[in-house]
Amino acid sequence: MEDSKPKSLNFLEEIVQENLAAGQYPQGIFTRFPPEPNGYLHIGHAKSICLNFGLAQKFGGKTNLRFDDTNPMTEETEYVESIKKDVSWLGFTWANELYASNYFEQLYEFALELIKKSLAYVDDSSAEEIAAQKGTPTSAGTESPFRNRSVDENIALFQDMRAGKYPDGAKVLRAKIDMAHSNMHMRDPLMYRIRHVAHHRTGNAWCIYPMYDFAHGQSDSMEGITHSICTLEFDVHRPLYDWFIDKLAIFASHQYEFARLNLSHTVMSKRKLLQLVNEKIVHGWDDPRMPTISGLRRRGFTAASIRNFCDRIGVAKRDNLIDLSLLEFCIREDLNKSADRVMAVLDPVKLVITNYPDGQVEDLAIENNPEDLDSGKRIVPFSKELYIEREDFMVDPPKKFFRLGPGLLVRLKGAYIIQCDHFELNPDGSVKEIHAQYLPNSKSGQDTSGIHVKGTIHWVSIPHAVEAEVRLFDRLLIVEDASELGDDFLKFINPDSLQVLDKVYVEPSLREAEIGEAVQFIRKGYYCLDPDSTAERLVFNRTVTLKDTWAKEQNK
RNA sequence: UGACCUAUGGUGUAAAGGUAACACACCAGUUUUUGGUUCUGGUUUUCUAGGUUCGAAUCCUAGUAGGUCAACCA
């Protein structure tokens, strides 16, 4: 039985459903994810990946991974590898791994075909001359003096271009359409340019390379792509996309456009991300502050959380600016269910339990995850001297401070209730050491004290503590919307986007942590072990904080 | 003085001419050995003006606002 009330479809799904209902694609639908291998994938690409693969999955189709490698100046195999890794990591399997460069010979034949139909010509004009011929959006262009060369001359010239008889920039192949067209892209667009540059896959086999517009649609067509989805700015390319397919009389792929993802407090364009890397504002493409897939992965985001995020943001044709808090919600939602809880004291202050026997150690069994009863328990050693969080003690606490202060009672997580009776200050006025007494009959799980305390705080036993480094990340930009900042965006970098804590104490179980494994530091946030870690020194990345209503309360 | 795309709470996204809803965010309460989690409730919405219609977020017209387009980039 079909659902009587199907979940509402997005506009792309509606299109596919209508096409299918009309019997247009009996073989099923085909989509493709077509990155240019000139940089690393970011979360905007993740949206496109989820859309392309998701559409095919939903309607029983398939998705190709096609590298749009028509510009040898900028493309490298390094990027191909990282892109494949990221798409796989996100959890998608492509039907075929393909390259636009696979089609160079066929595209060349297509070009000859258009020349023979008098629909393309070789132009000797310079780049500047061609730009001048284009006119402006509000005034028609002018025709090139080379526009009416004979078919035979064009064929000979184009063959010579391929044969390498001309230097870069000497000639181009142009489509003969309409220099007065209201769409600039239809004013005799370039099809081929000369580039005596080695290509990462075809080497020196070619010295002419097709432009995006002459490669993309035909590549789609050759692969039988039914739904070629791309971002809004390609909308104006669609008439040209259709024109080439029509004149070549090949399988009609269709292009559909959606609004790209914009995320608050960050930048998304490859150029700007590259700038952050090159100017060493971040430490690389996989810096955990970067919105790249590799950065998010290193930061501790799970593939499921990113897929979920892409699902929740939806898809439409209007410009959007997604609040970072939605991404944070998605990772918290995932990790809350799956991450084991551990204790780590980020800003330590010493606590002495004066009535606890010297030298005694208790191995406490503490639940790993209250959200997952199957996760079991782990052993955490408890002793007379502990570290607690500096912010969990106040000399003169306000009314609703449910933590430690002179005379106040608080529970040590998984251990005992304690009461503070004394503290010592450093010369600078900061707290040096806190003294408290524990209630021996208040042990966690076997509490007969009858006392209920409002607060529970985390701790680490000093003799058992493992020292670690913790890296706290925050939003990259101090402004929400970077869209109109232009190159000025560097002035709005958050100076506190990275904060390194080099003397953090974590419980000993963390010695067994694995790179990338997510844990929750109780009351502090979700963290994961960074690849920079060594056997001697653990380095943790903060993925995201926990929601903190106390902090919010304080800011009021 | 162009063409094309778009306009729904703070942010996104639904509602196929018939009660404007869902998520995030925010606020209040509940639960809790994490000020986490859970659960409950709440605040806030159809760009403007006309028109068609019994009825318009939806259709039409005109405005307004935002975006895109003039790389031998993709």
Cβ of A122 < 7 Å from strand B?
A: no
Cβ of A418 < 7 Å from strand B?
A: no
Q: What is the pLDDT of residues A247-260, one digit of tens each?
A: 999 999 999 999 99
pLDDT of residue A373: 87
Q: What angle do CA A213, A178, A174 make, to 5 degrees?
A: 45
Q: By C-alpha distance, which of A415, A34, A479, A524 is closest to A265?
A: A479
Q: What angle do CA A77, A49, A70 make, to 5 degrees?
A: 40
Give, for A112, the enclosing helix (H) or strand (E). helix A104-116
State mean pLDDT over A108-128.
Answer: 98
Percent of chain A at pLDDT above 70?
A: 99
pLDDT of residue A3: 36
Q: By C-alpha distance, which of A250, A225, A261, A306 is closest to A16?
A: A225
Query: What residue spans define the domains of chain A?
Result: 11-258, 263-340+468-554, 344-458
Question: Which of the nucleotides lies closest to A38 (Cα–C1')?
Answer: B74
Rounded to whole angstroms, the Cα distance separating A377 from A363 reads: 12
Protein-proximal nucleotides of chain B (any atom < 7 Å from a CB): 1-8, 10-15, 23-27, 33-38, 66-74
Q: What is the pLDDT of residues A501-524, one digit of tens each?
A: 999 999 999 999 999 999 999 999
Q: What angle do CA A24, A30, A35 make, to 5 degrees?
A: 140
pLDDT greater than 60 at residue A2: no
> How much is the pTM?
0.96
Q: By C-alpha distance, which of A517, A13, A79 is closest to A315?
A: A13
* Selected catalytic residue, list A195, A260, A272, A350: A260
pLDDT of residue A372: 94
State mean pLDDT over A283-292.
Answer: 97
Helix (H, G, I), strand (E, B) or coil at A284: coil
Distance A546 CA to B31 C1' (A): 18
* Type of residue at A395: V
CB A326 within 8 A of CB A312: yes
Q: What angle do CA A419, A420, A426 make, to 5 degrees?
A: 165
* CA A543 from centre of chain: 13
Provide the pairing of β-strand A348-353 with A431-438: parallel
Q: What is the pLDDT of residues A332-372, one digit of tens each?
A: 999 999 999 999 999 999 999 999 999 999 999 999 999 99
Q: What is the pLDDT of residues A234-247, one digit of tens each?
A: 999 999 999 999 99
| Residue recorded with tokens 């258009």 | A114
User: Could you confirm whether domain A11-258 is CATH 3.40.50.620?
Assistant: yes
Rounded to whole angstroms, the Cα distance separating A153 from A379 reads: 83
Please give the structure tokens belonging to residue A336: 């809350």
Cβ of A74 < 7 Å from strand B?
A: yes
In total, chain A counts a number of residues equal to: 556
Cβ of A447 < 7 Å from strand B?
A: yes
A157 phi and psi angles, rounded to 5 deg: -65, -45
What average pLDDT does chain A have?
A: 96
Distance A119 CA to B27 C1' (A): 65
Give every CB contact of residue A139 below 8 A, 6+ residues apart in sequence: none
DSSP A124-173: ---HHHHHHHT-BTTB-----TTTT--HHHHHHHHHHHHHT-S-TTS-EE
Same fold yes or no, A11-258 and A344-458: no
pLDDT of residue A359: 96
Rounded to whole angstroms, the Cα distance separating A359 from A6 reads: 65
Distance A17 CA to B31 C1' (A): 45
Rounded to whole angstroms, the Cα distance separating A342 from A329 reads: 21
Distance A318 CA to B47 C1' (A): 14
* Selected catalytic residue, list A32, A270, A299, A411: A270
Question: Which of the nucleotides lies closest to A549 (Cα–C1')?
Answer: B35
Rounded to whole angstroms, the Cα distance separating A392 from A374 reads: 31
Sign of CA dihedral A158, A160, A163, A166: negative
Active site residue A78: no
Q: By C-alpha distance, which of A470, A459, A467 is closest to A380?
A: A459
pLDDT of residue A6: 55
CB count, 10 Å around CB of A156?
13
Name the pLDDT band for A486 (thresholds 50, 70, 90). Answer: confident
Which region among A41-50, A354-363, A477-486 has the lowest average model confidence (pLDDT)? A477-486
Q: By C-alpha distance, which of A435, A403, A402 is closest to A421?
A: A435
Active site residue A350: no
Name the pLDDT band for A554 (thresholds 50, 70, 90). Answer: confident
Active site residue A36: yes
Cβ of A325 < 7 Å from strand B?
A: yes
Cβ of A193 < 7 Å from strand B?
A: yes
User: Could you confirm whether domain A263-340+468-554 is CATH 1.10.1160.10?
Assistant: yes
CA-CA-CA-CA dihedral for A186, A192, A198, A200, to nearest 10: 50
DSSP A509-547: GGGG--BT-EEEETTTEEEEE-TT--SS-EEEEEEEEPP
pLDDT of residue A1: 29
- In the CATH hierarchy, which fold is given to the domain comprising A344-458? Ribosomal Protein L25; Chain P (2.40.240)
